[in-house]
């Protein structure tokens, strides 16, 4: 078996970007992704008649509804059939929006309970530890991230924002986090995509936060000579272009806060 060869980082090139986008409920995650991602296909698993997609109803976007993880894996396998292309039923897409990746966590937990012969996590009882399913859930989450990232397209994973707590007593602290099941995934999985960004409202405008702030995870991988602003316009196409090396896109992302109105002094001297 031959030894692996030595490569050079200067020869690296990237055609696709993976982005984990998270925010509080009702802040417009789906709207930002649906309106700004390049030619998207939506993989929807949210509950309700509209599957959380009513904010992009006017765009007439294509979407697929999955009801469990087995069905989701069938869709992923179909998307992987044609090499180097994201294609479904003969139609080609540039990006896949998973709405939501947090919702996949519900699927993984259902699978774990099914294997353990349980219907719910429930309270602790003799012979049953409610923490038992989460080792399986964590491994399923890691596998799922790899499967989505292996698709040959831009991948946008939408997550709800939760609150994590660490420490005890006076040292206990809470901070915003990606909402995923268990105590491991919210720490592990945000480090895998090329970008993990948080959608917030700042100075009355929605912006993407690209650097850690108030304990919340955020970060963007981009070429070393491309500076991604801390606060970006909520435009995923621009963000993707900047991550792939477009300097003008990085500059266009800068979400400068609105200027304060100038004060005119009308008092007489």
- Per-residue pLDDT of the chain (269 residues), as tens digits, is 899 999 998 887 789 999 999 999 999 999 999 999 999 999 999 999 999 999 999 999 999 999 999 999 999 999 999 999 999 999 999 999 999 999 999 999 999 999 998 888 887 788 888 888 999 999 999 999 999 999 999 999 999 999 999 888 888 899 999 999 988 999 999 999 999 999 999 999 999 999 999 999 999 999 988 999 999 999 999 999 999 999 999 999 999 755 555 555 554 44
Say if residues 43 and 180 touch (Cβ distance below 8 Å).
no
Task: Give how many domains the chain has, as a whole number.
Answer: 1
- Is residue 220 in some structural domain? no
Strand intervals (E) in 138-247: 154-166, 173-178, 195-202, 205-209, 219-220, 231-232
**Among 209, 211, 210, 204, residue whose Cα is nearest residue 258:** 204
Which residues lie across from 22 on neighbouring strands? 159, 198
Q: Is 69 inside any structural domain?
A: yes
Query: Angle 214-155-101 (CA atoms, 0-180°, nearest 5)?
Result: 60
Q: What is the pLDDT of residue 259?
A: 57
Tell me 57's DSSP state. G
User: Residue written as tokens 């896109």?
Assistant: 249
User: Which residues, in sequence order, are CB contacts of 202 under 8 Å at separation 6+?
Assistant: 231, 255, 257
In this prediction, residue 24 carries a pLDDT of 96
Asked whether residue 22 is domain-assigned, the answer is yes
246 within some domain: no
Task: Tell me what pLDDT residue 125 has.
Answer: 83
Q: If we measure between CA atoms, which residue out of 252, 134, 250 comes closest to residue 195?
A: 250
Whether 27 is in a domain gets the answer: yes
Residue 232 lies inside a defined structural domain of this protein: no
CATH at 107: 3.40.50.300
d(CA 153, CA 82) in angstroms, rounded, equals 12
82 in any annotated domain: yes
**Domain span including residue 115:** 13-167+174-197
Domain annotation covers residue 234: no
């Amino acid at each position: 078996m031959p030894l692996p060869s030595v490569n050079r980082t200067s020869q690296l090139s990237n055609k696709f970007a993976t982005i984990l986008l998270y925010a509080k409920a009702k802040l417009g995650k789906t709207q930002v992704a649906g309106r700004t991602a390049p030619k998207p296909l939506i993989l929807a698993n949210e509950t309700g008649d509209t599957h959380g997609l009513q904010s992009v109803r006017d765009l007439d976007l294509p979407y697929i509804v999955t009801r469990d993880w087995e069905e989701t894996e069938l869709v992923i396998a179909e998307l992987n059939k044609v090499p180097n292309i994201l294609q479904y039923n003969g139609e080609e897409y540039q990006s896949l929006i998973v709405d939501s990746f947090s919702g996949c966590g519900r699927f993984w937990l259902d699978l774990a309970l099914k294997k353990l012969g349980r219907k719910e996590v429930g309270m602790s009882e003799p012979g049953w530890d409610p923490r038992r399913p989460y080792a399986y859930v964590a491994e399923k989450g890691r596998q799922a991230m790899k499967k989505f990232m292996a698709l040959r397209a831009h991948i946008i994973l939408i997550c709800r924002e939760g609150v994590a707590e660490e420490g005890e007593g006076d040292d206990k602290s809470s901070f915003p986090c990606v909402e995923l099941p268990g105590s491991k995934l919210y720490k592990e999985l945000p480090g895998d995509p090329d970008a993990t960004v948080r959608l917030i409202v700042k100075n009355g405008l929605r912006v993407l936060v690209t650097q850690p702030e108030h304990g919340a995870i955020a970060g963007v991988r981009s070429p070393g000579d491309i500076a991604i602003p801390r606060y970006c316009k909520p435009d995923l196409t621009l963000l993707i272009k900047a991550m792939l090396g477009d300097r003008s896109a990085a500059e266009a992302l800068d979400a400068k806060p609105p200027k304060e109105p100038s004060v005119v002094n009308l008092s007489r001297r």
